[in-house]
Amino acid sequence: MTADTLFMLANYSVMPFWLLLIVAPRAKVTDMLVHSGLVPMVLGITYSALLLNSMVGNAPEGGGMGSLDALMISFSQPMAVVTGWVHYLAFDLFVGAWIARDAARMGIHHFSIILPLILTFVAGPAGLLFYLLLRYAWKRRFQLTEVAISD
């Protein structure tokens, strides 16, 4: 399979699961596939196989993760970039699932986390940061409301 084909397959394969997190976060199918870790685990297996393949005889001369130059040499090959991309897809989906579960546990209305979920899908850490700020504000508001009620 070519790197282009694998890239497209990986990209399109995660979209239904992100849609489930956004549209039906508490549905049984979302729980079975996304919240259980099944889909991120499949992505993890895919990533591990790609990583192993790139390490066994396919790594470019001078490539590696020990320096920026070595990393740039590694990512000069399309399959290495796809491997890195699958890494992002797996972790971002795992973080998105955590956001949905955590928000439900905290009592944060699901509508409030749609933007952080979309941001996590397209820009992982930025979406997580947005959610954590939202979560902090929600917690503060709740604590301030409790204080006002008890006075």
- Please state the three-class secondary structure of 40-74 as a single string: HHHHHHHHHHHHHHHHCCCCCCCCCCCCHHHHHHH
Average pLDDT across the chain, whole number: 89
CA–CA distance, 113 with 68 (Å, rounded to integer):
35
Q: In this predicted model, what pLDDT tens digit does every residue of 94-116 receive, in sequence order?
A: 999 999 999 999 999 999 999 99
Among 1-5, 47-51, 56-60, 70-74, the range scoring the smallest mean pLDDT is 56-60
Q: Which residue has the higher pLDDT, 48 or 74?
A: 48
Tokens of 100: 């949905």
CA–CA distance, 123 with 91 (Å, rounded to integer):
11
